[in-house]
Structure 1
Amino acid sequence: MVNYVSWANKVYMQEDRLDSALFSSISFDLTVTSLYLPLITGNKVVVYHGENQASVIRRIIEEDKVGLLKLTPSHLKLLETDRRLSSSTSMKRLIVGGEDFSHALAQSIYEKYEGKVEIYNEYGPTETVVGCTVYLFDAGSKGYTSVRLGFLHPTYKYIY
């Protein structure tokens, strides 16, 4: 976990001040990023409660308090038609993982944010501590049904 969080600090925080939303169970592996990454970097964890994940995620977007949000493609799909997604937001980075991430969904969200939010597709079985491969979505990539995995970021060659 130390290796993952140290790496995520370099890639996702990029020395920015980004608060993170915590809306998932402490036992869900995406919580590792949402909880520990802001804590080791001196940022805030904004805790959201609620039984209905759709309304919680919409509230996160509406309140516009966080710059980093980790969620699944299914969660992100809930926001695809949300008119509050725009380039005038605190959101800087979305980390998406846990299931297949369609290229069309990524493109739609990217366009709603007018290209001002980085979208990462992260994958890794829980046994590898959350993420072991990641891809920074490229809106110029065409011909894919899913967002690719494995190519990290132009400035980073290795994950760990």
Structure 2
Amino acid sequence: EYMLTDSGCSHVLTYQNSIIKGVAFQGSVINLMDIPFEEEQVEDLQITMEPQNLAYVIYTSGSTGQPKGVMIEHRSLTNFLCAMYEDFSQDIGITDNVLFSSSISFDVTIFEIFVPLVYGARMTIYQGEKFDVPKLVQVILEEQVTLAYIPPTLLNEIYDYFVRANQKISLNKLFVGVEPIKTELLAKYDHLFRGNLQILNLYGPTEATVCCTSYQYERDKEITIQNVPIGSPLLNTKIYILDSFHRLQPIGVPGEICISGIGLARGYINRK
């Protein structure tokens, strides 16, 4: 109800009207089950889309106050999708099967939805509970998923299931993030897959279109720190480490991360 009111939403698409029962919503509710799609036109829509047009609005968790709707433009979304293609060695395409398992309120779903749509991969929609690890692993194995996001809290447990798996694991691309990741944990995955698993650690706030940096794990890189680095800026993105007076910090000196570039959001919806 808060998001509907705060965003000024005028239409809700649903499969069941009971979803918003008891919610103070003054707009239109469209039940998709009531629409005879077979009678609709099938021609391409004649729509002119500009880079600065709004692509989506997704709400923050509200950990620093009330949740805010982050406005992401098409140019930012396109840049993110291009960056992911580059960072996965330009190796995403029709032979891939991307797992869609995250909550729609979590911006990782932007990757899970649009990467397969843009690059021609399949999408497997996981419909179980997120923390039902046996079922999640079963889907990854049986559907021959090749690209997936695995939350840090599940990495260890899923690894144990992979070790005991008695069938082929098709996974060859993995991205992690959200929380610090132990270097030794990614080393275990790399060893299990015998170096045939591309692993990206992604970092960034919702306001930077999912993420702003990435780090590709490589077994030959000597990492002497406990946690996996957040890596380097994505395409058309710059990262600055500043002190409290907005001065650049020398290498190795702590500071605050500041982000610039095409990936930054337009702002927060209905906020100045």
Is it true that 1:134 corresponds to 2:224 in the alignment?
no
Bigger relative contact order (CA 8 A; separation at least 6): 1
Match of 2:111 in 1: 33
Corresponding residue number in structure 2 for 1:67: 146
Between the aligned partners of 2:114 and 2:145, the Cα distance in structure 1 is: 15
Q: Structure 1 76/127 Cα, relative in aligned 2: closer, same or farther at 3 Å?
A: same
CA-CA distance at 1:123 after TM superposition: 0.6
Give how far 1:112 is off: 0.9
Shift of 1:46: 0.5
Structure 1 stretches (4+) deviating beyond 3 angstroms? none
Using the size of structure 2 for normalisation, the TM-score is 0.52
- List gaps (5 residues or longer) in structure 1: 153-157
SS at match of 1:94: strand
Query: RMSD of the TM alignment (CA)?
Result: 2.2
1:21 and 2:102 aligned: no
Show CA shifts across 1:58-97 (max 9, x none).
22333252211112222222212122569x5321110111
Question: Contact 1:57/1:75 (CA < 8 Å) preserved in 2?
Answer: no
The 2-side partners of 1:28 and 1:148 are apart by 22
Relative to structure 1, the CA distance from residue 56 to residue 123 in structure 2 (aligned partners, 3 Å threshold; closer, same or farther) is farther
User: After the TM superposition, which of the residue ranges 104-113 and 15-24 deviates more from structure 2?
Assistant: 15-24
8 A Cα contact 1:64 1:91, kept in partner: no
- Correspondence list, 1:41-120, <5 A: 41-53=119-131, 54-82=133-161, 83-84=163-164, 88-120=168-200
Give CA deviations for 1:20-52 in whole Å, capped at 9, x if unaligned.
000111111111111110111111110011124
In structure 2, C-alpha distance between the alignment counterparts of 1:77 and 1:6, rounded to whole Å? 30
Percent of pairs identical after alignment? 27
**Shift in Å, 1:103:** 0.4
Q: Give, in whole Å, the separation in 1 of the partners of 2:145 and 2:185.
A: 21
| Partners of 1:43 and 1:14 in 2: CA distance | 11
Change (3 A) 1:52 1:132: closer
Alignment pair present for 1:6 and 2:85: no
More strand by share: 2
- Whether contact under 8 Å (2:174, 2:197) holds in the other structure is yes
